[in-house]
Amino acid sequence: MERPAVDQMTKESFYNDAKDYWKDIPATVDGMLGGFGQISGEDINGSLEFLKPFLTCAWAERVGSNRALDCGCGIGRITKHLLLPLFQHVDMVEQTQKFLDEAKQFIGEEASRVERMICRGLQEFTPQPEHYDVIWCQWVLGHLTDEHMVHFLKRARTGLTETGMICVKENIAKKGVVFDDQDSSVTRSNPQLKKIFALAGLTIVKETVQKRFPLGLFTVRMYALR
């Protein structure tokens, strides 16, 4: 009998299975997006529409533009196309070293503004305190157990500047939690994610759905958290 998704997260091999999966994935945009490299442009456009107003509007939710952190950065697709155009400096954290090795070449001349590339899983990573204007987490939190996700978000919160913000962009299950045995990850429902955000002491400032993705994919939501 197949184990429920919540039980799958308690397996000793939950993290190691994910590491093994990503070790065999090519260091390309298509590899980062699970064979759906064609959605990268729409994905970045949706993220820009979501994030840019926080940096350009004179309102209470405005954030600074000095430094961002790209969590689960892969080869730097988001760093290159979303974060570096908006922030002066970017740090990258990723558990697969070969992706970081490819990142400088992929990012190109703007890679000089990437200050740190950290090879570590988010379950073991602690951001520098009061350091980041935005911490961006996209398609990576599904690789954390519920408990580790709560603890990571709490640590991420301490890594924000006074006006900083955590942004989460994730696939959304229709109900409950769905386990993917191919890459050893989970897809949580909107209520499940919001429960975890609340346990981490975070408040949702903005929430929206990614538009113009192909039919048949999970719904993708973006959350701005403080």
The domain that holds 153 is classified in CATH as 3.40.50.150
> To which H or E segment does residue 153 belong?
helix 146-158
Instruction: Return d(Cα 214, Cα 106) in angstroms, integer.
Output: 26
Structural domains counted in the chain = 1
Which residues make Cβ contacts (< 8 Å) with residue 136, sequence separation at least 6?
Answer: 51, 68, 69, 70, 71, 78, 82, 83, 167, 169
Q: Is 72 annotated as a binding residue?
A: yes
> Is the pLDDT score of 209 beyond 50?
yes
Q: Residue 95, annotated ligand binder?
A: yes
pLDDT score at 12: 77
Q: Is 123 annotated as a binding residue?
A: yes
pLDDT digits (tens, 9 = 90+) for 19-32: 999 999 999 999 99
Q: 138-162 pLDDT, tens per residue?
A: 999 999 999 999 999 999 999 999 9
Known binder of ligand: residue 153?
no
Instruction: Note the pLDDT tens digit of each residue in 37-83.
Output: 999 999 999 999 999 999 987 666 799 999 999 999 999 999 999 99
Q: Which domain, by its residues, includes 66?
A: 5-225
Q: What is the mean pLDDT of residues 89-99?
A: 98
Collapsing DSSP to helix, strand or coil, 4 comes out as coil
Q: In the predicted model, is pLDDT for residue 8 greater than 60?
A: yes
42 is in an annotated binding site: no
Q: What is the pTM of this model?
A: 0.96
Round to whole Å and give the CA distance between 99 and 219: 26
What is residue 1's predicted lDDT score, i.e. its pLDDT?
Answer: 36
**Inter-residue contact 135 to 169 (CB < 8 Å):** no
The reply, when asked if residue 12 is annotated as ligand binding, is no
As a whole-number percent, the residues of the chain with pLDDT over 70 amount to: 96
Whether 187 has a binding-site annotation, put simply, is no
